[in-house]
Structure 1
Amino acid sequence: MSTIAIMQPYLFPYIGYYHLLAAAETFVFYDDVNFMKGSYINRNQILTKNGPLRFTLSLDGAGSNKLINEISLSNRKDKCLTQIENSYRRAPYFEEAFALVQRCYNSEKRQLSDFLFTSIKTLSDALGLETKILRSTELEYNRDLKGQDKVIELCKMLAAETYVNAIGGKDLYDHESFNKKGLQLNFINPVQEAYTQYLSSEDFVPYMSIIDTLMFCGIEKTASMIKKNYTLEA
């Protein structure tokens, strides 16, 4: 059964994003939709000993009137890399995790969507995910459709039998519309496993960037957590 997930790109998203990737055979990197200011498209949180710290990828001319694939990076992206290094240099898996992050930031891509695609694909490959990742920018479909109609069109075009969406989208989709098109609709419910951050796991701070998980758990354990810690529900 061919399973597809569709999600807009985020900057080093939290582990739940990778659960969605793991649950699908094909993942559509949804980069031809409007950019949202204040979202996680170009920002996220890492953890310092003083608590969460927001890091932001600087952009040129970003606005909600532009598509994600129309926005360029500024020349100041190295600031994020410095913040990440300073926050995690004493984390147990710093060397292997930071090498992955550096590989993403060393990319010469000048467009936001290219940078995000490269970073998500780089981490996905390192974590052993075999999901095929496609960019919506490169697909031919009716972009005048809205909401779930556009999702259904993408699913049918890619010969999907099942569409998996994040649990937060339950109010956006209805089973009847998908069933009429021969599609099964499921929602993923990721379980974020607590792990030791700095001194203990008792004061675990969830929903940090995947960088946090990699720094404290390493690639091997993070991959295991991604592949097992979620359930699917109708």
Structure 2
Amino acid sequence: MKRLASMQPYFFPYLGYWQLIAAVDCFELFDQAQYIDRGWVNRNRILKPGGGWSYIQVPVAKHPFTTAIRDVKIAPLPEWKTRIVNQLAEYRTKAPFFAETMELVESALFGGQEPTIGALNCRIVRQVCDALSIRSEIVASSDYDYDYGTIPDRGDRTLAMVQNMGASEFINPIDGISLLDPDKFARCGIKLSALKPPTIAYPQAGDRFEPALSIIDVMMFNGIAETSQLISASSIVPAINPLAPAFQLDCA
């Protein structure tokens, strides 16, 4: 019926995130997941002047430990968006596609007044997808009346989500495929596959390439059009995991 993938809504995530979106018919932003401090939901990495990397970050308000991403509010601190823009200004003299990238980033940052980090990231993901000509359908898990929190096992939770969305194939990043059981998915009539991205290095400022930075860095040095081409440079392989755990959810 359709290919599905799901990830938490990250803040301007890395290249592989967009490759995963482009590989499926429908991409679910799992904003019902518990917010994790020092993760990728409210921050990401960019090149640091003089070498290495630094964070760009959205301030979030204090919240209970178990709060879902969709419910974590952005802290009402002044000028946090401007601070990010000022950090990215360091790219001006070294990145050939600074102007077009900043136009997109500023439009994404200032294009709304979302109260929560989940809502902000969902809009940014959709806006960047439009710019990169990614035509996959983007949905948020909270848009559907289903409580995945009642299923304790991650593998079972993923399988239930795929069934709830009516997908015939689920694609997961290859580095996390060991958490899922392809045989279990197959017994439920669902194909489990893995996204295998190639190793991509591109010219950055400096002698050392810093991998896995925000998509902002990729666009700064490659431009939006070439970044769109890089996103298509991945392959889908069958999920094979002989040591998969025995999940509890049964389709029989």
TM-score, with structure 2 as normaliser: 0.87
The 8 Å contact of residues 6 and 28 in structure 2, kept in 1 or not, is answered as: yes
Quote the Cα distance in structure 2 between the aligned partners of 1:103 and 1:230: 31
Q: Deviations over 1:33-86 (max 9, x none)?
A: 10011111111110033221122211111453211011111234222222122x
1:102-121 equivalence runs, <5 A: 102-106=106-110, 107-121=112-126
Question: What is the CA-CA distance between 1:228 and the residue it aligns to?
Answer: 2.0
Runs (4 or more) in structure 1 with deviation over 6 Å come to none
The 8 Å contact of residues 34 and 65 in structure 1, kept in 2 or not, is answered as: yes
Quote the Cα distance in structure 2 between the aligned partners of 1:60 and 1:142: 24
The 8 Å contact of residues 193 and 229 in structure 1, kept in 2 or not, is answered as: no
Quote the Cα distance in structure 2 between the aligned partners of 1:96 and 1:208: 18
1:23-172 equivalence runs, <5 A: 23-50=23-50, 51-76=52-77, 77-78=80-81, 79-85=83-89, 87-90=90-93, 91-106=95-110, 107-143=112-148, 144-146=150-152, 147-172=154-179
The 8 Å contact of residues 48 and 88 in structure 1, kept in 2 or not, is answered as: no
Give the aligned CA root-mean-square deviation in angstroms: 1.5
User: Whose strand fraction is larger, Structure 1's or Structure 2's?
Assistant: 1
Question: What is the CA-CA distance between 1:183 and the residue it aligns to?
Answer: 0.5
Question: What is the CA-CA distance between 1:127 and the residue it aligns to?
Answer: 0.3
- Higher mean C-alpha displacement, 39-48 vs 61-70: 61-70
Question: Cα 1:127–1:23, aligned 2, differ >3 Å: closer, same or farther?
Answer: same
Q: Identity rate of aligned residues, in percent?
A: 28
Residue of structure 2 equivalent to 1:232: 237
Aligned with 1:35: secondary structure?
A: coil
Quote the Cα distance in structure 1 between the aligned partners of 2:64 and 2:87: 25
Selected match of 2:201 from 189, 194, 199 = 194
User: 5+ residue gaps in structure 2?
Assistant: 240-252
TM-score, with structure 1 as normaliser: 0.93
The 8 Å contact of residues 195 and 234 in structure 2, kept in 1 or not, is answered as: no
Larger Rg: 2
Aligned length, in residue pairs: 231
Question: What is the CA-CA distance between 1:110 and the residue it aligns to?
Answer: 1.6
Quote the Cα distance in structure 2 between the aligned partners of 1:99 and 1:81: 11
The 8 Å contact of residues 43 and 58 in structure 2, kept in 1 or not, is answered as: yes
Quote the Cα distance in structure 1 between the aligned partners of 2:196 and 2:76: 37
AA paired with 2:18?
Answer: Y
- Higher mean C-alpha displacement, 175-184 vs 224-233: 224-233
Question: What is the CA-CA distance between 1:20 and the residue it aligns to?
Answer: 0.6
Aligned with 1:120: secondary structure?
A: helix
AA paired with 1:47?
Answer: L
Aligned with 1:195: secondary structure?
A: coil
Quote the Cα distance in structure 2 between the aligned partners of 1:44 and 1:131: 23
Question: Cα 1:118–1:34, aligned 2, differ >3 Å: closer, same or farther?
Answer: same
Question: What is the CA-CA distance between 1:189 and the residue it aligns to?
Answer: 1.5
